[in-house]
Amino acid sequence: MKPGSGWPLAIVGLLGMNMAIVGVTVYFATTSKTSAVVPDYYTKAVHWEDTQRQQATNRALGWKAAWRARAGEKGAPGDLEMTLVDGAGKAIRAAKVEFEVFHESDDTARVNGVMPEREAGVYGAVVPLHRSGRWRVHAVVDSLGTRFTCEETVEAKR
C-alpha cells in the first residue's frame, strides 16, 4: 500500500459511521413512545388567547386543586382524586369535573373521563393507572356556570 492511500478509506469509514448514527437516531425518534405530542395542537395554538383568558379567570377565582393518585396493583385499575376548594378554603360542591390523564413516559395511552363527587369538594374516578410514576392530568371544572381549568403533574404510587 502506498503512503497516503488510507485517507479515502478513512473518509468512507467516517461517512459510514455517520450514516449508521443517523439511522439509529431516526429509528429511535420514530419508534419511541416517550415523546408527548399535544393532540390538536394547531387548534390550541390558534386559541392561545382564550387559554390566557382562562388562566386569568383561574387566578381571579383563587380556586385550588389538590391531586392524589394511586397506581393499581398487578394490572388492577388505580384511583385519581381531586380536592377542590375556593380561595377561602371552602369546598366547591356539585361541580362537573372532566379530566384527561396520561403517563409522562407514554402519551399514547390517554384516558378521558368524568369525576363524580365522592364527598364535599372531593371528586374521584377509578382509572387505569397501571404503573407508578409521573402522570399528567388536565381537568376542566364547571360549577354553576363558572369554568375552572387546571393542569398538574401527579406522582402515582402503589
CB 139 within 8 A of CB 125: no
| pLDDT tens track for 18-54 | 999 999 999 988 887 666 677 888 999 999 999 999 9
CA 18, chain centre distance (Å): 34
N residues, the chain:
158
SS (H, E, C) the chain: CCCCCCHHHHHHHHHHHHHHHHHHHHHHHHHCCCCCCCCCHHHHHHCHHHHHHHHHHHHHHCCEEEEEEECCCCCCCEEEEEEEECCCCCECCCCEEEEEEEECCEEEEEEEEEECEEECCEEEEEECCCCCEEEEEEEEEEECCEEEEEEEEEEEEC
Backbone angles phi, psi at 104, to 5 degrees: -65, -25
Domain borders along the chain are 1-32, 41-157
Q: What is the pLDDT of residue 34?
A: 66
CA 108/CA 36 separation, integer angstroms? 8
> Worst-scoring range by mean pLDDT, 1-5, 43-47, 83-87, 129-133?
1-5
CA 112, chain centre distance (Å): 12
CB 120 within 8 A of CB 89: no
CATH code, residues 41-157: 2.60.40.1940
Give 74 or 17, the one with higher predicted confidence. 17
* pTM beyond 0.85: no
> What's the mean pLDDT in 66-70?
96
Q: What is the pLDDT of residue 107?
A: 74
